[in-house]
Amino acid sequence: MAQTIEQKTHPVTEQVAALVEPVVDEMGVELVDVEYLSENGRWILRIYVDKPGGVTLDDCVRVSREIDDLIEVKDIFHQEYVLEVSSPGLNRRLKKERDFERVVGKTIRVRMITPIGGRRNFKGILHSFENGILRLRVEDDSFLLPYRDLDRANLVYEFKQS
């Protein structure tokens, strides 16, 4: 599996990602993210998928049916959970190196683990991503941000005024 930003998630997310990624890849869909969290007293396994042009509801249903039995057979979970498969949305989370390569030229929001130039939060245009370094243009300044020190990053969808 491709390298991703370290995050504080439930340990089973990596296990689930490794299990389902080859299956969704074969279906022509990219595994974007896996979350396993408790919401309102119930456990939710949330799988985010995408493909060029975006995923449809039918794509999500197809992926859900394909991976549901696979996850059950592997007996990863020891409590009841709800499986949700969805699109990453407009402000999609950026985790994998290829996510950053794909959004060069677009506006992103980044939170760093350790401050760079006295700040941890940045919002700007990703000018380039090379050798593990994000070059982010923030107003009239440019910042070099090491990928390995990212805490969280996401694409910022900008609505066009007509």
pLDDT band at 162 (very low <50, low <70, confident <90, very high): low
DSSP letters of 2-53? --B------THHHHHHHHHHHHHHHTT-EEEEEEEEEETTEEEEEEEEE-TT
**81-86 and 107-116 strand pairing:** unpaired
Token digits of residue 129: 């991503």
**102: which strand partners?**
none
Give the separation between CA 56 and CA 67, rounded to whole angstroms.
Answer: 17
* pLDDT at residue 6 is higher than 50: no
Mean pLDDT of the chain: 88
**What's the rounded mean pLDDT across residues 31-39?**
89
- Digit-coded pLDDT (tens) for 36-89: 988 888 999 999 999 988 899 999 999 999 999 899 888 888 889 999 999 988
- 64 and 103 Cβ atoms separated by less than 8 Å: no
Give one word for 40, left, alpha or beta, with left for phi > 0 and alpha for psi -120 to 50: left
Domains of the chain: 12-86 (3.30.300.70), 97-155 (2.30.30.180)
* DSSP H or E run through 100: helix 97-102
First to last CA, the chain: 41
